[in-house]
């Protein structure tokens, strides 16, 4: 596929590059904000699973827009992977399933709680649907647990979900309003949606911890058989202006008759991505060749360092 054909097929990928966002996901958060007015009065925000950083960029641009107030704004981003720096954003390279990460976030806010926590987390997929779904749900559970450590009462928590019906209803234990929202920039062909949880109100006496076995409940017995007012149906909302581009449609390269299409390279190429070593091994035809491993590890290292030396960066 040529560079421009991807621009034609994925309008948000293209707009992200042209507007300087690190990933097309930025539009999802922007469209959620159009619907839910997420950023009003937010001074402390946390972006969980943030790399490469397009949501942190949105937070930075939106929350620090006012020159006089921008010094009061604190944004903390967490990811397992390293991320290129962003103005006004403190980065923690860490795991959101660890209580030490929660403590580090609170330390950055000088002990004060966050007004907003967003999480666009996605684990590496294995291709085994059930396993992937389980790991994704566990990641969400970790995000919720960490949120209970850092969010202020009345605060907002947003996360990306797929097939997480059980979690939706459980979230009502912690939040007054829970809405499942689908931004225009999230493809209809994907079951991805975002859960917007507003007005954090933990149950009385609730002590935040990182090991609530929420997923060990039996869904059928505990939740699916509830009836009448006890059965919580989480509202589903399509969001993003209807005039916004449709993420499933292919658009011509020349969007605006007065402006000629010009290819734009990605805003921020990944730094140290986990697949980098595999790419180099494949380039040198060393991938999955048992004879080379592990005895010829030195040879691999030599080839890799040759490549690094030859690279323009
Ligand atoms: C879809 S990307 C996030 C994109 C990001 N919101 C943006 O707009 O650029 C998902 C991220 O989740 C991170 N992730 C997965 N598991 C994690 C964990 N346990 N702790 C921290 N980050 C994690 C991955 O490293 C990956 O960068």
Q: Is residue 211 part of a domain?
A: yes
Number of domains in the chain: 2
Q: Is residue 21 part of a domain?
A: yes
Of the candidates 200, 23, 14, the residue with the CA atom closest to the CA atom of residue 115: 200
Q: Is residue 231 part of a domain?
A: yes
Q: Are residues 215 and 285 in the same domain?
A: no
How much is the pLDDT for 167?
65
Q: Candidates 50, 85, 125: which one to mutate for ligand 1, based on the most atoms within 8 Å of Cβ?
A: 50
Question: What are the strands of the beta sheet with 236-239, ordered from one edge?
Answer: 89-93, 74-79, 44-48, 114-119, 151-161, 193-200, 175-183, 236-239
**Is 120 marked as a binding-site residue?**
yes
- Distance (angstroms) between ligand 1 centre and the Cα of 79 equals 6
Q: Are residues 36 and 105 in the same domain?
A: yes
Q: Are residues 281 and 233 in the same domain?
A: no
How much is the pLDDT for 221?
52
- Residue whose tokens read 């990944």: 270
Q: Are residues 175 and 297 in the same domain?
A: no
Torsion angle, alpha carbons of 153, 216, 126, 139, to 10: 10
Q: Is residue 128 part of a domain?
A: yes
Number of Cβ within 10 Å of residue 12's Cβ equals 24
Q: Is residue 248 part of a domain?
A: no
Q: Are residues 150 and 283 in the same domain?
A: no
- Distance (angstroms) between ligand 1 centre and the Cα of 274 equals 13
Instruction: Please tell me the residue having the least CA distance from ligand 1 atom 16.
Output: 123
- Distance (angstroms) between ligand 1 centre and the Cα of 192 equals 15
Q: What is the pLDDT tens value at each position of the chain, 313 positions in all? A: 567 788 888 899 999 999 999 999 999 999 999 999 999 999 999 999 999 999 999 999 999 999 888 999 999 999 999 999 999 999 999 999 888 898 999 899 998 999 999 999 888 778 887 777 777 777 888 888 899 999 999 999 999 876 656 666 778 888 999 998 999 999 888 878 899 999 999 888 877 766 544 444 454 555 555 555 555 555 556 666 677 888 888 888 888 888 888 889 888 877 777 778 888 888 888 876 655 555 455 555 555 555 444 443 3
Q: Are residues 288 and 218 in the same domain?
A: no
Q: Are residues 281 and 230 in the same domain?
A: no
Q: Are residues 200 and 292 in the same domain?
A: no
Q: How distant is the alpha carbon of residue 15 from its chain centre?
A: 19
How much is the pLDDT for 160?
87
Q: Are residues 153 and 208 in the same domain?
A: yes
What DSSP state is assigned to residue 253?
Answer: S
Preceding amide of 294 cis, omega within 30: yes
Q: Which residues have CB under 6 Å of ligand 1?
A: 22-23, 25, 49-55, 78-81, 95-97, 120-123, 139
Q: Is residue 27 part of a domain?
A: yes
Backbone angles phi, psi at 153, to 5 degrees: -60, 135
How much is the pLDDT for 215?
46
Q: Are residues 142 and 65 in the same domain?
A: yes
Q: Are residues 163 and 29 in the same domain?
A: yes
CATH of the domain at 73: 3.40.50.150
**Is 95 marked as a binding-site residue?**
yes
- Distance (angstroms) between ligand 1 centre and the Cα of 262 equals 30
User: CA distances (Å), 60 to each of 4, 75, 90, 100, 152, in order?
Assistant: 30, 7, 11, 24, 20
Q: Are residues 204 and 134 in the same domain?
A: yes
* Full residue range of the structural domain in which residue 170 is found: 3-239
Q: Is residue 64 part of a domain?
A: yes
């Amino acid at each position: 596929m040529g560079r421009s054909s991807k621009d034609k097929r994925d309008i948000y990928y293209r707009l992200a590059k042209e507007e300087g966002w690190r990933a097309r996901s930025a539009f999802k958060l922007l469209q959620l904000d159009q619907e839910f007015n997420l950023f009003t009065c937010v001074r402390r925000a946390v972006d969980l699973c943030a790399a490469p950083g397009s949501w942190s960029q949105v937070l930075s641009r939106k929350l620090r827009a006012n020159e006089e107030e921008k010094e009061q704004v604190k944004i903390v981003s967490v990811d397992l992977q390293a991320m290129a720096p962003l103005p006004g954003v403190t980065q923690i390279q860490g795991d959101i399933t660890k209580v030490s990460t929660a403590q580090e976030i609170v330390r950055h806010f000088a002990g004060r709680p966050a007004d907003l926590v967003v999480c666009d987390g996605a684990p590496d997929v294995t291709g085994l649907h059930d396993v992937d779904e389980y790991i994704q749900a566990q990641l969400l559970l970790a995000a919720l647990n960490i949120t209970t450590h850092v969010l202020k009462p009345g605060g907002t928590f947003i996360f990306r979900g797929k097939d997480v019906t059980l979690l939706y209803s459980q979230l009502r234990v912690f939040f007054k309003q829970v809405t499942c929202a689908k931004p225009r920039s999230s493809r209809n062909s994907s079951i991805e949606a975002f859960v917007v949880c507003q007005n954090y109100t933990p149950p009385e006496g609730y002590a935040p911890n990182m090991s609530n076995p929420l997923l060990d409940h039996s869904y059928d017995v505990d939740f699916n058989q509830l009836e009448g007012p006890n059965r919580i149906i989480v509202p589903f909302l399509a969001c993003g202006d209807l005039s916004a581009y449709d993420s499933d449609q292919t658009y011509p390269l020349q969007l605006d008759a007065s402006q000629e299409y010009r290819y734009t390279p990605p805003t921020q190429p990944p730094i140290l991505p986990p697949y980098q070593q595999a790419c180099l091994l494949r380039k040198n035809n060393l991938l999955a060749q048992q004879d080379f491993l592990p005895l010829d590890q030195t040879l691999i290292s030599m080839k890799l360092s040759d490549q690094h030396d030859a690279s323009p960066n």
